[in-house]
Amino acid sequence: MEHVFKGYKVGAVDYLRKPVDPHAVRAKVAVFVELYRQRKQLESQSEQLRSAELQLRRRAEASLQESEALYQHTFEEAPVGIAQATPSGRFTRVNQRLANILECSADWLIGRQLESIGEADDQAAIAERLARLQSGQSLSAGEHRLATARKSPIWATLTLSALRRGSALRQLIVVVEDISDRKRHELERENFLAVAAHELKTPLTPLRLQAEGLVRELAQGAEPRHDTLLRRISSIDKAARRIESLVERLLDESQLSGGNVHLEREEIDLCAVIKEAVTRVQSDAAHAGSTIDVQSDGPILGLWDPLRVDQAVTNLLGNAIKYGAGKPIEVKIGFEGGTARFSVRDHGMGIAEGELERIFERFERVAPLRHYSGFGLGLGIVRRVVEAHGGRVTAWSRPHEGSEFVVELPSHLPAGEPVQSPELEMHA
Amino acid sequence: MTHRHSILVVEDDPDISESLRDVLESEGYPVITAANGAEALRSLSELGQPCLIFLDMMMPVMSGDEFLTLLRKQERFSEVPVVIVSAWANETRAARALSQGFVKKPASVAALLEAAGGFCGLRDSHLSGEARGAAP
């Protein structure tokens, strides 16, 4: 037995007594083979479990990465500014769009307090929004003016939402949408309506005063002189026409701003159209103290819409009279390389360089309203009409030296068509 | 009927200016017109005190409020009655403090004659109260 114990001590698992009984050997081998098989099965199961667990972990990691990438993408690529902030309102993460909206770097924003992005007047209201979230509200949104590093303040919709665990506020999500363009359009619209009402009231005043005055005088038995009567009734007629033309201009502008300008082209002489327009505005120019000098050798023929071209010319002349400070106005008409070119030059107040780009915009007026009335549509109409003809309009101006508007209109006449111009006449 | 003093109409729109002149002259008021504030100041220095100034606000060269501020700085014109004639009710608030009345465009004959009657004579003072604050 001693040997058996020794054997167990050094790692034996069983023993057989000699002479060996074949039955016992078979039985014992069977037991050990079965034990070995079971151990192998356990090992394999354990291996499977380990690999399944690994796979699950990998899948979870991948899913987490994907989710983070998705969040990152949404966060960075969203067309709105997004930021995360602490419950007290300090930015911990901001997207590039927010930095762009506020014209600063994303790093500069980190650590700053939410309300500090507001304009001075809006900071208290933003702080109030933050306080509402801190006291349990889940969402708070509204329009605010935000300060920007370089430009003037912008209008934005600010949305604050709370991320909570239980009732504890864990994080704030801040969404900032730049709505400056919409606000500007709203403001333009309001201004435009106010100006339109004013413009319509201007001719209504003489219309009402002359009509009421005459009714009153005639009712009292007055016998006004024939020429006085004629002049005053003509003034009523003129005012009615002015109102009509204002209403037409308004309708026309809404049509022009609706997209394509419909042109009815025919062969016309640009010089004749311009001279006619000059004759029409001559009395307005005289009232403002300006003379209009036209330099042309005409005729200059082209396929243009006579009404639209007249409209563009009239607007440019009206502009020169209005801002010409009673100084002479010069109109030059020429033709070169298939393109007619005319310019209207005044010597008035002029336009500052930075404002020159804006003057062709709709409702834009660079002159102060207290001095100059008008819809602010005139130059916008000029540009649209000229561009519809395939031409272009450019402006030159210097403050206190006046402005010059140059219009170029391709003649659109088939090649070989005789186009008379000063140059051609000289060779003839 | 003639008046000792004239009425000064400061208005850049020639048609409005003419209609104001027609209405006032038909009632016997002598009328002087000026196309902007600067012209009005020149007229005043040449012609002296009018009994009333009808003043438009939005004018080139010199606007109504600029004119009014300069006018009130001159001692001899500090008391001349000014009635503002404008389509803008809100924008004229500051100027209205320096003036004696306000007629909203499109003005009525009654409102103008009430103001004229109130400051330059007694005619038509029975007319409707459209010239708010026009009574001296």
| pLDDT tens for each residue of A203-251 | 999 999 999 999 999 999 988 899 999 999 999 999 999 899 888 877 7
Q: Quick one: average pLDDT of A251-258?
A: 68
Residue A410's beta-bridge partner residues? A339
In this prediction, residue A423 carries a pLDDT of 41
Separation CA A291–CA A327 (nearest Å): 7
DSSP letter at B136? -
Q: Taking 50 as the threshold, does the pLDDT of residue A186 lie above it?
A: yes
Q: Which residues in chain B have their CB less than 8 angstroms from residue A232's CB?
A: 22
Helices (H), A289-338: 306-323
Provide the mean pLDDT of chain A: 86
B15 touches chain A (CB under 8 A): yes
Separation CA A384–CA A392 (nearest Å): 9
**A372 band by pLDDT with thresholds 50, 70 and 90:** low
| ipTM confidence | 0.83
Residue to substitute from A190, A227, A245, A371, interface B, most B β-carbons within 10 A: A371
- Burial label, A17 (beta-carbon count in 10 A; 0-12, 13-18, 19+): exposed
**B17 band by pLDDT with thresholds 50, 70 and 90:** very high
In this prediction, residue A366 carries a pLDDT of 52
**B127 band by pLDDT with thresholds 50, 70 and 90:** very low
Q: Please give the single-letter amino acid code of residue A419.
A: V
| Count of A-B CB contacts under 8 Å | 85
Distance of residue B87 Cα from the nearest chain A Cα, in angstroms? 6
Q: Which residues in chain B have their CB less than 8 angstroms from residue A372's CB?
A: 58, 60
In this prediction, residue B129 carries a pLDDT of 42
B63 touches chain A (CB under 8 A): yes
Measured between CB atoms, which of B23, B60, B110 is closest to A371?
Answer: B60
- DSSP H/E element including A24: helix A22-77
In this prediction, residue A124 carries a pLDDT of 94
Question: How much of chain A is in helix, strand and coil states, percent to nearest 5?
Answer: 55, 20, 25
User: Cβ separation of B16 and A206 shorter than 8 Å?
Assistant: yes
In three-state secondary structure terms, B6 is coil
Distance of residue A285 Cα from the nearest chain B Cα, in angstroms? 12
User: Cβ separation of A209 and B20 shorter than 8 Å?
Assistant: yes
Instruction: Give residue A345's Cα distance to chain centre.
Output: 32
Q: Taking 50 as the threshold, does the pLDDT of residue A425 lie above it?
A: no
CB atoms within 10 A of CB A117: 27
* B residues 65-104 lying closer than 8 A (beta carbon) to A: 65, 87-88, 91
Q: Taking 80 as the threshold, does the pLDDT of residue A118 lie above it?
A: yes
A285: closest chain B residue by CA? B14
In this prediction, residue A94 carries a pLDDT of 95
Instruction: Give residue A390's Cα distance to chain centre.
Output: 25
In this prediction, residue A424 carries a pLDDT of 39
In three-state secondary structure terms, B63 is coil
Q: Quick one: average pLDDT of A82-109?
A: 94
How would you classify residue A50: left for phi > 0, otherwise alpha for psi between -120 and 50, otherwise beta? Answer: alpha
Separation CA B65–CA B17 (nearest Å): 18
Of residues A284 and A175, the one with the higher pLDDT is A175
Instruction: Give residue A114's Cα distance to chain centre.
Output: 26
Residue B8's beta-bridge partner residues? B32, B53
DSSP strands (E only) in A87-178: 91-94, 139-146, 154-165, 168-178
The set of residues, in sequence order, having a beta carbon less than 8 Å from that of A157 and lying 6+ positions away, is: A141, A142, A143, A144, A175, A176, A177, A179
Helices (H), B1-136: 14-26, 37-47, 64-73, 93-97, 109-120
Token pair of A269, please?
């002489």
A201: closest chain B residue by CA? B106
Q: Taking 80 as the threshold, does the pLDDT of residue B77 lie above it?
A: yes
User: Cβ separation of B58 and A205 shorter than 8 Å?
Assistant: no
User: Cβ separation of B19 and A198 shorter than 8 Å?
Assistant: no
Q: Which residues in chain B have their CB less than 8 angstroms from residue A370's CB?
A: 57-58, 63-65, 91
Is the distance from CB of B10 to CB of B65 less than 8 angstroms? no
Separation CA A298–CA A385 (nearest Å): 22
Distance of residue B28 Cα from the nearest chain A Cα, in angstroms? 12
Separation CA A344–CA A388 (nearest Å): 20
Separation CA B92–CA B69 (nearest Å): 13
Task: Choose the weakest-confidence range: A188-192, A254-258, A350-354, B6-10.
Answer: A254-258
In this prediction, residue B134 carries a pLDDT of 41
Q: Which residues in chain B have their CB less than 8 angstroms from residue A216's CB?
A: 109
Q: Which residues in chain B have their CB less than 8 angstroms from residue A212's CB?
A: 23, 108-110
A222: closest chain B residue by CA? B26
Q: Quick one: average pLDDT of A378-392?
A: 86
